[in-house]
Chains A and B, each alone.
Chain A
Amino acid sequence: MIRALHRWPGLLALALVTILSMSGAALSVFPAAERLAAPQVEAGLTVATLADRIQAAYPGVEQIRRSPSGRITAYWFDQGTPGAAVINPATGEGVALADPNQTLRWLTNLHRSLFLGDGGRIAMATGALAMLVLSLSGAALIARRAGGWRRWFAPLRGPLAARLHVGIARIAVIGLVLSSTTALWMTASTFDLLPDGGAAPAFPAEVSGQTGVAFDQMALLTDTPVAELRELSFPYSSDAADVFTLKTNGGTGYLDQGSGALLAWADLSGWERVSETIYMLHTGQGAAMLGLVLGLMALGVPVIGATGVLIWLVGRRGRPRIRGNQPASRAETILLVGSEGGSTWGFAATLHAALSQAGQSVHVGPMSGFAPKRYARAQRIILLAATYGDRAAPASAKGFLDRLNALEHTPDAPLAVLGFGDRSFPAYCGYARTVAEVAAAKGWPELMPLDMIDRQSPQDFARWGRVLGDALGIELDLSHEPVLPKSQTLTLVSRRDYGAEVQAPTAILRFALPRVSLWQRLTGGGFARFLAGDLIGILPEGSAVPRLYSLASGSRDGFIEIVVKKHVGGLCSGQLTALEPGDTVTGFLRRNPGFRPGRSRAPLILIGAGTGIGPLAGFIRSNRSGRPVHLFFGMRDPDSDFFYGEEFPVWKEEGRVTRLVTAVSRGARPHYVQDALRGEATQVAELIRNGARVMVCGGRDMAAGVADALVEILAPAGLTPAVLKAEGRYVEDVY
């Protein structure tokens, strides 16, 4: 909802808001320039003295004005010829032309009305309203994403466009909210929608009839400092019934030109004061510094706008277009998608197309948008749910379980859950299972039992489609071709071989970074930006199914590095370990945000065995800030498969790793990495009690052994790995 409130006004009003902000930024310079150029007024100068000086220089003076910047302008007639000048208050003489600045006038008219009169004013006010809606909805999105208003300035992640968008917006939003609200107030005032009109006092009926009083005989003028002055109008020389009109910051009054007495006075109304303050806040006239700051913030708008459009475009590309998507309130079939990387959306699109073709009206939406009250005509609800990490909700299903749990009654329309996952993981389709369990426990009627799709298998999907078709009494033929991310060609630059002597031939392969286009840099696509621990998908020749490897390097290292062990009969590992420098493979990047050391300064305990050392070595290599890192590394034989054995002494010297504990499994006394942990139990427990974060990478058996060891080690401290996991302080990347 908030996102829609942010996206659509943003796209619609982009041009308008850009013109508003750019012209506003340009205009913000003028009050400051005027302030600097205005001749300074001596301390204690009164209006009486100033008027005396000006009248001496220009006997035909009619009006003296002081702008909020302090600039004083006089208007006079000299033998019928009108004259005007900026006045030096010290002498009363003109020092500069008083004609309006044509650039300023042009910019002002562009800014407030696009040169289109009242219609243009309304258009620009609409732009200001859009800016306000965008600012407020954007602020809500930033807070939501950061996890609360207090974490407003939390470090930013993600592609460059997203970081620029939020990074600039979270500072500029203050100025944009101020500028847009004051703009709306000023428009309302211009169109007389506010009771802030000037209230001049009634013109005096009786005057002395005399003329020629000296300024120093006019008490109000000798009492009013020039800093308070706004305007002093002189009476017509020929009209004895006319008066002096004085406007100050406090109000308006009439003075007798014979006696100098104050004849009438009216204070500024409360509304006028508010409107003037708002005018000052918006224009910077009288608050030049604030004006410059607001102008600077407005300069961010074009960047925010452009990056916003980019983010929207990329988000759209991530999901397939669903043609003829029905509104949730009218659809018979509700199809909700829980997807992390976007591939599940592809399945949803295929299912939507097939059902629509069979004459069904289908609504497709994210699981996070689950709103059963809106499904007025739904006859069935289908969930397509991937899993993130172990059992966690994927990105587009955030909050689904909370909403389901909060329901008093589940919908009457029966439910089918289809899980997507990888059978080689122990928590295969863990999230889909959880959802199905909760739904069953709440008594949600079942359309079909839980089913699962292994590794995006089109065959599994087609089979499930036939069962669904039977349940609906229609012929349903689902032929889905998964769309793989666009892969790039990678060239091997070097390889280091290990482990041949222990029957575990392994290579550390280093590939050159492929060329990154500007578009990829902005949108974070391709290999523009990645961290150690992210995954690379390699497509071996002769197979359409990619194999994933953990990266041992980040984009800042300037190369792509993986550690690959050759498996007997392994298609991909066989091809990779046969590569020679100069050879190429095709691969794509897949992010793995769940397996990152984070930016905290808390100590890291890295635990890995075999090729699992890859990402851990990457973390150590990128530890430039000297964060304490304790590495537990299991190998077969230090003389054969001690990966990165050459680098560790250097990294230790540079403070990238604090301590390295190795465990050797070949030999008289086999020693595994969990044994090494137990050997250091006291220190490990101490570190974890003090907030250390544990990261485990390697084979499944090793991870299980490590978890068991940690249960023992942490028991005296009253902690368990499960508690650490819940706190996000214990993460695994297991294969």
Chain B
Amino acid sequence: MKSLFATLALTTALTFPGLATARPVTLTTTLNNYGGDGAYLALYVTDASGAYVGSLWMAGGKSKYYEHLSDWYRATGGDTAQVNGITGASVGAGRTLEITLDLADALFDAGYTLHIDAAVEDMRDSPNEVAVPLTTDGAGTPVRGRRYVASFAYDM
């Protein structure tokens, strides 16, 4: 279990009202068989105005390729400090990435959106592959991505 508590507070310098209350959330991302090398995925949150709030996970270890996750890169300026400690391996075609983190209650039903940017070597960059509003009602409902993500769901 990864604690996003400290991470979000540290990396975004944003404080949420009622941050003390948080719950474990499981994010499940399954990729389709797109026929390429492992995909880089950036999972991050924006607020109601579309402004970047913080990163949840970075699948892919080589920062020199982060520029292909273009929305995330643009929002963070490619700042690797944003994903310090929450970085894992890239995700192969057809594979599933499952991560569980403590997410602040305040992130739900408050206009926040979870985004996934995806990129694969020698294939199209897919910023905004997935964009789902974070709501308690929406939990457990899988959504399709635009190009690489076969299904994405968050469960509480």
Hey, which bits of chain A sit against chain B, CB under 8 A? Answer: 62-63, 75, 77, 80, 82, 84, 99-100, 102, 105, 109, 117-118, 189-192, 196-198, 200, 202-203, 233, 236, 245
Report if A62-B35 is in contact (Cβ < 8 Å); known contacts: A77-B146, A197-B63, A197-B64: no
* From A75, A82, A84, A190, contact of B64 by CB (8 A): A190
Q: Please determine whether A105 and B146 come into contact, CB atoms closer than 8 angstroms.
A: no
- A and B contact pairs by CB, cutoff 8 A, 18 listed: A63-B124, A63-B125, A80-B146, A84-B123, A99-B123, A100-B35, A100-B36, A100-B123, A109-B37, A117-B89, A190-B62, A190-B64, A200-B67, A200-B73, A200-B77, A233-B125, A236-B128, A245-B70
A86 to chain B, nearest CB (A): 13
Closest 10 CB pairs of A and B: A75-B124, A82-B147, A100-B122, A198-B67, A203-B74, A197-B64, A100-B36, A192-B63, A84-B124, A99-B35
**Bound CA span A82–B144, Å:** 13
Within 8 A of A (CB), among B110-156: 121-126, 128, 146-147
Which residue of chain B lies nearest to A197 when distances are taken between CB atoms in the complex?
B64
Which residue of chain A lies nearest to B120 when distances are taken between CB atoms in the complex?
A100
**Bound CA span A190–B35, Å:** 23
Using an 8 Å CB-CB cutoff, how does the interface string of B32-68 with A read, 1 for contact, 0 for none?
A: 0001110000000000000000000000011110010
Q: Please determine whether B35 and A102 come into contact, CB atoms closer than 8 angstroms.
A: yes
Q: Please determine whether B64 and A192 come into contact, CB atoms closer than 8 angstroms.
A: yes
Q: Please determine whether A198 and B35 come into contact, CB atoms closer than 8 angstroms.
A: no
Q: Give every chain A residue within 8 A of B124 (Cβ-Cβ).
A: 62-63, 75, 82, 84
Q: Give every chain B residue within 8 A of A80 (Cβ-Cβ).
A: 146
A142 to chain B, nearest CB (A): 38
**Bound CA span A75–B126, Å:** 10
Assuming A82-B124, A109-B37, A236-B128, what are 15 further A-B pairs, CB within 8 angstroms? A75-B124, A100-B35, A100-B122, A102-B35, A117-B89, A190-B62, A197-B64, A197-B78, A200-B67, A200-B73, A200-B74, A200-B77, A200-B78, A203-B74, A233-B125
**Bound CA span A75–B62, Å:** 24
**Bound CA span A98–B119, Å:** 15
Q: Give every chain A residue within 8 A of B62 (Cβ-Cβ).
A: 190-192
B137 to chain A, nearest CB (A): 24
B119 to chain A, nearest CB (A): 11
Q: Give every chain B residue within 8 A of A245 (Cβ-Cβ).
A: 70
**Bound CA span A411–B147, Å:** 77
Q: Please determine whether A202 and B77 come into contact, CB atoms closer than 8 angstroms.
A: yes
Q: Give every chain A residue within 8 A of B35 (Cβ-Cβ).
A: 99-100, 102
Hey, which bits of chain B sit against chain A, CB under 8 A? Answer: 35-37, 61-64, 67, 70, 73-74, 77-78, 89, 121-126, 128, 146-147
B47 to chain A, nearest CB (A): 15
B40 to chain A, nearest CB (A): 13
Which residue of chain A lies nearest to B61 when distances are taken between CB atoms in the complex?
A118
A interface: dominant SS? mixed
Q: Give every chain B residue within 8 A of A198 (Cβ-Cβ).
A: 64, 67, 78
B53 to chain A, nearest CB (A): 17
Q: Give every chain A residue within 8 A of B146 (Cβ-Cβ).
A: 77, 80, 82
User: Which of B64, B124, B126, B128: most chain A Cβ within 10 A?
Assistant: B124
Report if A105-B37 is in contact (Cβ < 8 Å); known contacts: A82-B124, A82-B146: yes
Q: Give every chain B residue within 8 A of A118 (Cβ-Cβ).
A: 61
Q: Give every chain B residue within 8 A of A203 (Cβ-Cβ).
A: 74
B interface: dominant SS? loop
Which residue of chain B lies nearest to A65 when distances are taken between CB atoms in the complex?
B124
Which residue of chain A lies nearest to B78 when distances are taken between CB atoms in the complex?
A200
Q: Give every chain A residue within 8 A of B89 (Cβ-Cβ).
A: 117
Q: Give every chain A residue within 8 A of B147 (Cβ-Cβ).
A: 82
**Bound CA span A88–B100, Å:** 46
**Bound CA span A632–B121, Å:** 77
Q: Give every chain A residue within 8 A of B77 (Cβ-Cβ).
A: 200, 202
Which residue of chain B lies nearest to A198 when distances are taken between CB atoms in the complex?
B67
**Bound CA span A278–B78, Å:** 24
Q: Give every chain B residue within 8 A of A102 (Cβ-Cβ).
A: 35
**Bound CA span A295–B62, Å:** 28
A564 to chain B, nearest CB (A): 73
Q: Give every chain A residue within 8 A of B128 (Cβ-Cβ).
A: 236
**Bound CA span A198–B74, Å:** 12
A229 to chain B, nearest CB (A): 16
**Bound CA span A57–B35, Å:** 25
Q: Give every chain B residue within 8 A of A202 (Cβ-Cβ).
A: 77
B90 to chain A, nearest CB (A): 9
**Bound CA span A198–B69, Å:** 13
Q: Give every chain A residue within 8 A of B125 (Cβ-Cβ).
A: 63, 233
B78 to chain A, nearest CB (A): 7
Q: Give every chain B residue within 8 A of A77 (Cβ-Cβ).
A: 146
A720 to chain B, nearest CB (A): 71
**Bound CA span A198–B70, Å:** 12
B49 to chain A, nearest CB (A): 11
Which residue of chain B lies nearest to A233 when distances are taken between CB atoms in the complex?
B70
A273 to chain B, nearest CB (A): 15
A15 to chain B, nearest CB (A): 24
Which residue of chain A lies nearest to B65 when distances are taken between CB atoms in the complex?
A190
**Bound CA span A245–B77, Å:** 15
**Bound CA span A102–B122, Å:** 11
Q: Give every chain A residue within 8 A of B74 (Cβ-Cβ).
A: 200, 203
Q: Give every chain A residue within 8 A of B126 (Cβ-Cβ).
A: 82
B63 to chain A, nearest CB (A): 6
A98 to chain B, nearest CB (A): 8
**Bound CA span A100–B126, Å:** 16
Which residue of chain A lies nearest to B63 when distances are taken between CB atoms in the complex?
A192
**Bound CA span A401–B73, Å:** 68
Which residue of chain B lies nearest to A196 when distances are taken between CB atoms in the complex?
B64
Q: Give every chain A residue within 8 A of B123 (Cβ-Cβ).
A: 84, 99-100
Q: Please determine whether A105 and B36 come into contact, CB atoms closer than 8 angstroms.
A: yes
Q: Give every chain A residue within 8 A of B70 (Cβ-Cβ).
A: 233, 245
A30 to chain B, nearest CB (A): 11
Q: Give every chain A residue within 8 A of B37 (Cβ-Cβ).
A: 105, 109
**Bound CA span A604–B73, Å:** 78
Which residue of chain B lies nearest to A101 when distances are taken between CB atoms in the complex?
B122
**Bound CA span A712–B147, Å:** 96
**Bound CA span A192–B126, Å:** 23
**Bound CA span A3–B73, Å:** 51
**Bound CA span A75–B122, Å:** 12
Q: Give every chain B residue within 8 A of A105 (Cβ-Cβ).
A: 36-37, 122
Which residue of chain A lies nearest to B67 when distances are taken between CB atoms in the complex?
A198
Which residue of chain B lies nearest to A105 when distances are taken between CB atoms in the complex?
B37
Q: Give every chain B residue within 8 A of A189 (Cβ-Cβ).
A: 64
A74 to chain B, nearest CB (A): 9
Q: Give every chain B residue within 8 A of A100 (Cβ-Cβ).
A: 35-36, 121-123
Which residue of chain B lies nearest to A84 when distances are taken between CB atoms in the complex?
B124
A194 to chain B, nearest CB (A): 9
Which residue of chain A lies nearest to B75 when distances are taken between CB atoms in the complex?
A203
Q: Give every chain A residue within 8 A of B64 (Cβ-Cβ).
A: 189-190, 192, 196-198
**Bound CA span A82–B35, Å:** 14
**Bound CA span A80–B144, Å:** 11
Q: Give every chain B residue within 8 A of A75 (Cβ-Cβ).
A: 124
User: Which of A77, A102, A189, A198: most chain B Cβ within 10 A?
Assistant: A198
**Bound CA span A200–B63, Å:** 14
**Bound CA span A504–B117, Å:** 99
A163 to chain B, nearest CB (A): 43
**Bound CA span A202–B126, Å:** 20
Q: Give every chain A residue within 8 A of B78 (Cβ-Cβ).
A: 197-198, 200
Q: Give every chain B residue within 8 A of A197 (Cβ-Cβ).
A: 63-64, 78
**Bound CA span A455–B77, Å:** 82
User: Which of A75, A84, A100, A245: most chain B Cβ within 10 A?
Assistant: A100
